[in-house]
């Protein structure tokens, strides 16, 4: 949200506009030597100190239809899940799973309302819940 204003902060060099599921991997590849960040659609950055906003031709940066099922589950094996817990639960080991993106409401003051929505399928959510329970002991 507010990419130009955000990039005017001296400590911020790159922003993803809207959902970052597609653009963030491209940014990481570019930073790893794979190209120019300012060429990535849906990204804002600074080039020689100047703010560059790269929107799609329609102006809707990365406002593509989300195929949420195509994204892999989070790499929970890289985390120490025992460190995550909820103060409202007596159980240790907690994780977070997203089943939707965006918001179905259309409040006219909210930038999230303009972003595309996506939902995961039941089988996809069930598979992640099963993995979380069986592999990581979260229950």
Name the site residues for ligand SF4 (rule: CB under 6 A).
103, 105, 107, 110, 112-113
CA distance 130 to 32: 34
CA distance 54 to 71: 24
Q: Considering only CA atoms, which of 63, 123, 133 is closest in space to residue 95?
A: 133
- The angle subtended at Cα 137 by Cα 139 and Cα 87, nearest 5°, is 50
Q: For residue 128, what are the contacts with CB-CB under 8 A and spacing of at least 6?
A: 73, 97
Q: How far is the CB of 113 from ligand SF4 (least distance, A)?
A: 4
Q: How far is the CB of 117 from ligand SF4 (least distance, A)?
A: 10
Assign residue 132 a region (left: φ > 0; alpha: ψ between -120 and 50; beta: otherwise).
Answer: alpha
User: Looking at beta carbons only, is 72 or 104 nearer to ligand SF4?
Assistant: 104
User: Looking at beta carbons only, is 96 or 107 nearer to ligand SF4?
Assistant: 107
Q: How far is the CB of 68 from ligand SF4 (least distance, A)?
A: 17
Distances (CA, A) of 98 to 32, 74, 102, 131: 28, 10, 11, 14
User: Looking at beta carbons only, is 75 or 105 nearer to ligand SF4?
Assistant: 105
Q: How far is the CB of 87 from ligand SF4 (least distance, A)?
A: 24
Q: How far is the CB of 1 from ligand SF4 (least distance, A)?
A: 11
User: Looking at beta carbons only, is 65 or 105 nearer to ligand SF4?
Assistant: 105
User: Looking at beta carbons only, is 41 or 116 nearer to ligand SF4?
Assistant: 116
């Amino acid at each position: 949200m507010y990419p130009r204003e955000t990039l005017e902060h001296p400590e911020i060099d790159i922003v993803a506009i809207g959902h970052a599921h597609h653009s963030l991997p491209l940014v990481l590849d570019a930073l790893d030597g794979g190209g120019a960040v300012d060429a990535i659609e849906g990204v804002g950055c600074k080039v020689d100190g100047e703010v560059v906003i790269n929107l799609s031709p329609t102006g809707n940066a990365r406002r593509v239809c989300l195929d949420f099922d195509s994204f892999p589950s989070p790499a929970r094996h890289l985390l120490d899940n025992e460190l995550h817990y909820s103060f409202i639960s007596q159980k240790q080991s907690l994780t977070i799973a997203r089943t939707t993106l965006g918001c179905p409401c259309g409040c006219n003051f909210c930038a999230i309302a303009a972003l595309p929505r996506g939902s995961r399928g039941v089988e996809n959510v069930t598979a992640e819940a099963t993995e979380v329970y069986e592999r990581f002991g979260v229950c």
